[in-house]
A = this chain, B = another copy of it.
């Protein structure tokens, strides 16, 4: 029996769109002057919570602490800061991250374990705890604090990353909202830099973990800005059940996963579009692969190729670079079966060049986004990845980041 269900975007929605969440931010002066850099997100009640974290062996103190606080499958708040990643900071870093949870939780009557922590910024410096302690008391939470939260966690980001959708089931509904940051050192192996997702759906713990992992694998984990994996990558979801809608049934489960997919895809695209120095979003669609792993590895290899990224930057229809990236991807590939399209123009068919109107393609490559489609022609699996062009601005931004 098919019930009346729908998913609609919440315009201007974010981490406070779901019922029962409040957020706020303040300026602690951790690295940046005169802007918010310390942010807090709180649910009215304890949430079922799940998280996925970086696979980099060098894990930030915040990642290690949040991971341990999620062991019991619940959480009620997230304290986050920009300007310092609290990574490569040893035992002192762990103590600082625990202290941040404790300082944030105490005024709310929460235990340290109820609070998750996320830090982003320079690797190899310590959190200036006296500044955090002084500022944390001035944090004011409100139902419309989502934008403030999303702004405070930005580093080299140039735009806030937020998204929300509402899913209707008959005359009831639940909402999923998210805030994220991410612009450089982006090649997520689990979550991507920092993504905070909230929902008022009631979700069972094990299902929430599985669902988050599946969705992240096909959305956030398919974004790459520069191939460098951060020690801070964190995606957490808090489900407080305030909608009264229980998604732990087959049909609502599929609806929840679909809604979460939309939110995470929106965040993934906004992160790729705002890659450090990026002028253009690149979407890579791979079809005809022999396995899902192959489809993903081919899409990601193309999205990280400096030669593909610079060609797109220069609006240069140099499709040979796409073919070469496919060839070095370690996926099963038969060169004579491969077909490539750029912005809907077929440039290679069955491994050999196709005549095409170069001026027309060049003109379309001046616009963003750029669509690259590769059909491997040897199987039924497909994947999509998102990246951005490589520009002089990326070099400028990263040649002087700590200074």
A residues with a Cβ closer than 8 A to B are: 55-59, 85, 87-90, 92, 122-126, 184-185, 187, 189, 226-231, 304-307, 310-311, 313-314, 316-321, 323-328, 333, 335-336, 347-348, 351-353, 390-392, 394-403
Contacts and interface: CB of A to CB of B under 8 A. Distances in A.
Contacts of A333: 57-58
A8 B336 CA distance: 48
Contacts of A90: 336, 351-352
Nearest to A225: B306
Given A89-B352, A316-B401, A325 B57 contact: no
Contacts of A124: 318-320, 323, 347-348, 353
20 contacts: A56-B324, A56-B327, A57-B327, A58-B335, A85-B320, A88-B320, A123-B320, A124-B353, A125-B320, A126-B353, A228-B305, A228-B306, A228-B307, A306-B306, A310-B397, A311-B398, A313-B399, A314-B399, A314-B400, A392-B392
Chain B CB count within 10 A is highest, among A333, A352, A397, A399, for A399
Give this chain's copy count.
2
Nearest to A58: B327
B399 A335 contact: no
Nearest to A91: B352
Contacts of A92: 352
A348 B58 CA distance: 13
Q: Tell me the dominant secondary structure on chain A's binding face.
A: loop
The 10 A-B pairs at the shortest CB distance, nearest first, are namely A123-B320, A314-B399, A58-B327, A310-B398, A124-B320, A229-B328, A392-B392, A90-B352, A56-B327, A57-B327
A297 to B, nearest CB: 12
Contacts of A310: 394-395, 397-399
B89 A335 contact: no
A183 to B, nearest CB: 12
Given A56-B328, A89-B352, A313-B399, 12 more contacts: A57-B333, A58-B333, A88-B335, A92-B352, A123-B321, A123-B324, A124-B320, A124-B347, A125-B353, A187-B328, A229-B324, A314-B398
Nearest to A351: B90
A401 B308 CA distance: 11
Nearest to A399: B314
A307 B185 contact: yes
A178 to B, nearest CB: 25
A185 B57 CA distance: 28
